[in-house]
Structure 1
C-alpha cells in the first residue's frame, strides 16, 4: 500500500471555500470529472452537520489496450461522503472508488478547515491510500507508485482549477450591487 498526502493554504475564508467546493466541477483543469450526483443528504438536528452522499462519474484517460486487458470501461465511478460542520468550520470528504476495486482500491480523505491562526484563510489536507488487489500483487509496487504520482499531478491540477473557481466566485460577489436597506 502507498499513501499520498498533501496540504495547502487557500487565501479565502472557510465560508467561501466550502461554498466554492460545490461549484468545483466542471472546470477546465479537471475534465475527467463528467458528473456528480447527490444520492442522499440530511442534516443532523442535534449537531447541525450536513451529510451528503454523492456518486462521482469520471472518464479515465487510460489506453484502450489496458482497459481491454483489465476489463475496464472508460467511465468509472466513486462514492463520496461529505460532512459539513458549519459550527466548527470543517468540511470533510471521504471517497472510495467503486470501479475496478478488485484491481486497485483507493480511499481518499480531503479536509477543508478554517485556519486557526487566520480566519481569512482555509487549511486544506488530502490523503489517499492506494492498494493493489491480489491479482496484481506482482506489480503492486509499480502500480501503486504510478497511482501516487497521478494523485500528485491531479492534485496540482485540481488545486489550480479550484483557485480559478474561488477567484470567479470572488469576482462575481464583488460585481454584485450592494443591497439597499429601507427603514
Structure 2
C-alpha cells in the first residue's frame, strides 16, 4: 500500500467551502471534464446530531492505457462511491470515497476533510486529503510496487487539477452569492 496526502488552506470561509463542495463537478469547472455524472443515492439528516450524510455515485471517463484494457478488459468509464458527512455544529465536512471499477486490481480509498483554519476560523478553511492505494497483484511485489507508485503519482496530478478546479468553483460561487446579496439589498432599499 502507498499513501498520497495533501494539505492546503483555502482563502474562503467554511460556509463557502462546504456549500461550493456540492458544485465542484459542475459543467463550468474545466478541470473536471472527466466527470460524466454525479448521482445522489441517499441524503439524510440525523435529527440528534444535525449531521447531513450523503451517498453519491460519481461516474467518470478515465484515460486508461489501451494495454490495461487489453489485459483486464472493461472500459474507460469508471464509478466511485462517495459518502460524506457535513457536521454544522463542529463545522467539519468529511468525504470518504472508494473506486468501484477496477477494485479487483487497484483499490483507492480517499478521505477529504474541510474545516475552519485555526489561524483564521471565520475566513479560511483547511483542506486535508489522504488516499490509500493498494494494488492487488498477489505474488508480484515488484509489479505491485510499480503500479502503486504510478497510481500515487497520477493521483497527485489529478489532485492538483482538482484543487485548481475547486478554487475556480469557489470564486464563481463567491461572485454569484455577492451579486445575489447585492440584488437583495437593492430590493430592500427600493
Relative to the length of structure 1, the TM-score reads 0.94
1:16-165 → structure 2 map (5 Å cutoff):
16-26=16-26, 27-118=29-120, 119-135=122-138, 137-138=140-141, 139-165=143-169
Gaps of 5+ in 1: none
- C-alpha distance in structure 2 between counterparts of 1:126 and 1:10, whole Å: 13
How many residues were matched structurally? 182
Question: 2:53 is paired with a residue of what secondary structure?
Answer: strand
- C-alpha distance in structure 2 between counterparts of 1:46 and 1:170, whole Å: 31
Deviation of the 1:64 alpha carbon: 2.5
Change (3 A) 1:76 1:85: same
Q: 1:170 aligns with which of 164, 171, 174?
A: 174
Deviation of the 1:117 alpha carbon: 2.2
Could you tell me whether the CA contact under 8 Å between 1:103 and 1:135 is conserved in 2?
no
Change (3 A) 1:161 1:181: same
Gaps of 5+ in 2: none
- C-alpha distance in structure 1 between counterparts of 2:112 and 2:39, whole Å: 18
- C-alpha distance in structure 2 between counterparts of 1:63 and 1:31, whole Å: 18
Deviation of the 1:33 alpha carbon: 1.3
Q: What is the match of residue 14 of structure 1?
A: 14
1:107-166 Cα deviation digits (max 9, x unpaired): 000000011221200000000000011357341111100111011101110110000001
